[in-house]
Amino acid sequence: MASVAATVGDLKTLLAKLDSEVCHVPARLPGVNALERMLTLILQVGKSYTMAEKSVAALQEAFGDWNGVRVARLYEVADVLQAKRISAGFERADLAQEFLRRVFGLQNHLEIDWLYDATGERRQKFLDSLQMAPIHTAAVLDLDAMEEPGVPVCNELKRLFSRLGFVKSNPKEADVRELLNPLVEEEEMFPHFLCLRMLANLGCD
């Protein structure tokens, strides 16, 4: 088996080839709650997080609260986004309302900050119930919920590294973390971690 340094180098080369705009999500800013964080991820529509943030800010300014967005007419929500020259304004408006209505339908309110205290399994169950969360949502929420140093090592990452031949079958967490930690330092944490988790979810079924 190749040395750790050589394997990390191979993984960095792979990540550079797989780099995508959708993975460039910044750390959650203070004051941004779980509902707003998830809404921003949904409004990325596979593209820029910055444009999605602009969409969320425009809706907050226009409606004041998220229930107002939920119950508004679709054209009213779309008009707000189009007035700010946000691309795909109608699509984003439709997605915003659909997301808010599904959250409300699941629990009769819109507060979902409990996701940060929940287990990864419970978060995933909620995302599965929504049936519209982008594939990188679970990974973002896992990073947002971290309380200890070191990104979370899940079964998907263990399986991915094993199938790539970088670790043995059913590897120990320490073996995976030895390869993972150099990949997720500082500004590389979110893009590299999200890319790996997306690859694991898409390629390891």
CB of 87 closer than 8 Å to CB of 81: no
In the prediction, which pLDDT does 3 show? Answer: 84
- Paired tokens of 40: 């921003």
CB of 67 closer than 8 Å to CB of 36: no
CA distance 119 to 204: 22
Amino acid at site 39? L
- Paired tokens of 115: 């996701």
The CA-based angle 31-152-36, given to 5 degrees, is: 25
Work out the mean pLDDT of the chain and round it to a whole number: 93
In the prediction, which pLDDT does 63 show? Answer: 97
In the prediction, which pLDDT does 124 show? Answer: 92
CA distance 182 to 12: 9
CB of 19 closer than 8 Å to CB of 195: yes
Backbone angles phi, psi at 53, to 5 degrees: -60, -40
Classify residue 26 by its DSSP letter: P
In the prediction, which pLDDT does 100 show? Answer: 98
pTM reported for the whole predicted model: 0.91
Calculated CA dihedral for residues 13, 19, 23, 26, nearest 10 degrees: 70
CA distance 170 to 187: 30
Does the pLDDT of residue 205 top 60, yes or no?
Answer: no
Average pLDDT over residues 128-136: 96
